A and B are shown apart, each in its own frame.
Chain A
Amino acid sequence: MKYPGIIYTIAIIVSAGLSACHSEPEYEDDIYGNFDALWDIVDRRYCFFEEKNLDWKEIGASYRAQITPETNSIQLFFICAAMLDELQDGHVNLSSRFNTSYYRKWWSDYPQDFNMRTIEEYYLEFNWLTTSGIMYKQLPGEIAYMYYPSFSTIISETSLDYILAILHNSRGLIIDIRDNGGGALTNIRTLVGRLIKEKITAGYIIHKTGPGHNDFSKPYPIEYEPAEKGRVMWDGPVVLLTNRSCYSAANDFTSVMKTLPNVTVAGARTGGGGGLPFSSELPNGWAVRFSACPLLDSSMQCTEFGIDPDEGCEVHSTDEELAKGKDAILDFAIERLKDLPLPEEKN
């Protein structure tokens, strides 16, 4: 150690140099800088370019051409929002202090097939039970009915025990998730755990491993396990009701339920949303959300474009019928279950 000070100084300088090896692109906080930052974030991180056959470079160039030095931030917002709409993805939003953009065509171009008032008035007769956000009742003919409007509401195991215990003496169970726009995937595990007797693989998840459009990890299986011992289980037939407004977690729930042998999916094709969204932001503080992690079904197929009902089970409820108190999708489910034996009759 003849010259420790020199060695010490050199070590610090060399090390400081190494730290600068990985630099990130920097964008100015102006109209061009913010536009370019948005385009770049989506280019690096969005996960469905291939499935949607999108030329993102061309899209970016065409929208960038709409920007002029006179473009103000409100105009810039709408140009950016229009560019994001090209992704045709309900998980994509641009949020500023004055607006949040939202691609609505995944459901607005389709029939609704559902009217909450019709269910409440004509089927539940304004008399139902509610727990953990789930409305439930045993319908005439000993048919159990559950309506779960949002996966954002956490389902507690105890609440589910009560629901299934109260509804247990029924010919079949209808789980209605129409108009359910998604929420937490963990609620799927809670629900599915009551319907299975052994561990199942009902889907896969992949994620981006780099900025390239095709940089993806290997599919990782998503396994579901039965609820713990002592919980109230349901082993009878189930009909799951869906419509175009079932999105994201509701779409994934449909995909999982479709793999179960005692479940029939009836109604309309779901809206999709088969990619877990990530968040990011622009230099001006606007937030952007986009699909980043594709969820695949049990056959490793993309679920971004929705899940079809089971064969022969596509049913639509027209607005006219719904206004008159008739829900064709719910009637279809009731029809399938009404002649089945009660649990005590099976024994």
Chain B
Amino acid sequence: MTGIFNSISLLARLMYRRSKDPRCIPSLIISSSSLPRTVFRPMCSGRLSILSSLIVLSFMIPCEVYPQEDATQQEESNKNYVSRPVTGRYAFEAGSKSLLATYLSPLTYHGTSLGVSGFWSKALPFNARHMIMHFDANAGIDNLWNPAGTAKIMGMNAAFKWGMSWRSEIPGSIQFTAGGTVDLDGAAYYLIRNGNNPVQGMASAAISARVSLSRPFKIGALDFILCDAASLPSASMFFSPGYGETYYEIYLGNRSGLIHPGWWGNNFRIDNLLSVTFDFGRTAAMIGYRFKADTQWANNLNTQIFTHSFVIGIIPGGIGLKKHPAKTPSETIYSIY
């Protein structure tokens, strides 16, 4: 009998070890608590065949077994499982823009700006309550006129931002996030009637500080979130042609003095979005106001671009303003703000 117990105990311990290993999900676990403590001796090869037959035999002995995923364990397991969906926001933006680009003209141009933007975010696995990762992309076109209405600038711009933020609650039910992003921006402003200086090309790579404050509130039975998010490029490398340099000279190969290190003093930019989000059917809707400033000073050239836009967007799947009964996850962390 000792041999049989020995083999059962060995099997139980092996199974128990496997059950501790998160990489495997055992189908059956023998209750090891019912087994007496045993001492394992080194097994010699002569005993292997006996041991194998005993192992097979052990499965034939009636004993108490139970499935791993019973109700209690399911509950326990759900407590450890947190859903971290990718939350996306897709928006259309329309507004006004002013542009001063002294490479093109000493006058400030004014006109309309249209764009689309997307914002995706997700709580990070290693600290889901506090760390979020986000990606931001936008593109737009502009149609601008000089004050006399005799010349037109057509503009195109695109930007991408990727980064992470720390999220915390502060008194007053305010959620605060602070983090950083890596940004890539590009734009071209084409003044149709200019000759050898027809385009203000802009390009930059930057590291930005990003902060946001958001607070839920109610109007009647409706839930809203008021949020202000600002991105502030703080260290950058940006492109600027020379003061009187033609693109022909750049084409010839003269690349000196085109790339500049930037900071707030010579490449101040800010992108601030004030928004209200609310449930809209099974999705959430967002309306907001975006203010963007994009200025640069290099090679004695001054560029100042200011955009004021009305933003309307949707967040498919919502952001959890409406509490749905949780089925599988014990908690879902939405990370849009």
Chain A residues within 8 Å of B, Cβ to Cβ: 1, 4-5, 8, 11-12, 15-16, 18-19, 21-22, 24-25, 29, 37, 40-41, 45, 47, 97, 185, 205, 207-211, 215, 217, 220, 222-223, 276-281, 283-287, 289, 292-293
Contact = CB atoms under 8 A, between A and B. Distances in A.
Nearest to A22: B297
A24 B300 contact: no
Contact of A4 (B105, B176, B304): B176
B280 interface: no
A19 B254 contact: no
Contact of A293 (B194, B245, B257): B245
A279 B147 contact: no
B132 interface: no
A64 B105 CA distance: 23
A208 B243 contact: yes
B330 interface: no
A208 B272 CA distance: 36
Q: Chain B binding site: helix, strand, loop or mixed by DSSP?
A: loop
B230 A220 contact: no
A207 B249 CA distance: 9
Contacts of A24: 100, 102, 106, 302
A217 B242 contact: yes
B320 to A, nearest CB: 23
B244 A15 contact: no
B291 to A, nearest CB: 10
B270 A12 contact: yes
Given A209-B244, A283-B107, A289 B232 contact: no
Contact of B105 (A19, A25, A280): A280
B38 interface: no
Q: Chain A binding site: helix, strand, loop or mixed by DSSP?
A: mixed
B249 A97 contact: no
Contacts of B252: 205, 220, 222-223
A278 B196 contact: yes
Interface of B: 100, 102, 105-107, 146-151, 168, 170, 174, 176, 178, 191, 193-197, 209, 211, 213, 230, 232, 242-246, 248-249, 252-254, 257, 264-265, 268, 270, 272, 293, 295, 297, 299-300, 302, 304
Contact of A207 (B176, B246, B253, B302): B246
A47 B242 CA distance: 14
Given A4-B178, A12-B270, 5 more contacts: A24-B106, A45-B244, A47-B244, A279-B194, A281-B151
Contact of A284 (B148, B194, B295): B148
B176 A1 contact: yes
A247 B105 CA distance: 26
Contacts of B147: 29, 283, 285
Nearest to A40: B106
Of residues B176, B197, B232, which shows the largest number of chain A Cβ atoms within 10 Å of its Cβ? B197
A47 B304 CA distance: 26
Contact of B243 (A215, A220, A223, A284): A215
A293 B149 contact: no
B268 A19 contact: yes
Nearest to A217: B242
A217 B194 CA distance: 22
A307 to B, nearest CB: 20
A220 to B, nearest CB: 4
Contacts of A40: 106
B258 to A, nearest CB: 12
A81 to B, nearest CB: 17
Nearest to B297: A22
B30 to A, nearest CB: 52
26 contacts: A4-B176, A8-B230, A11-B232, A15-B232, A18-B265, A18-B268, A22-B295, A97-B150, A205-B252, A207-B249, A208-B242, A215-B243, A217-B245, A222-B252, A277-B195, A278-B194, A278-B197, A278-B246, A279-B191, A285-B146, A285-B147, A285-B149, A287-B193, A292-B244, A292-B246, A293-B244
Nearest to A2: B170
A104 B102 CA distance: 29
A290 B209 CA distance: 43
Contact of B270 (A15, A21, A97, A285): A15
A273 to B, nearest CB: 13
A209 B148 contact: no
B103 to A, nearest CB: 9
Contacts of A207: 242-246, 249
Contacts of B265: 18, 21
B176 A276 contact: no
Given A207-B249, A293-B245, A29 B148 contact: yes
Contacts of A292: 196-197, 244, 246
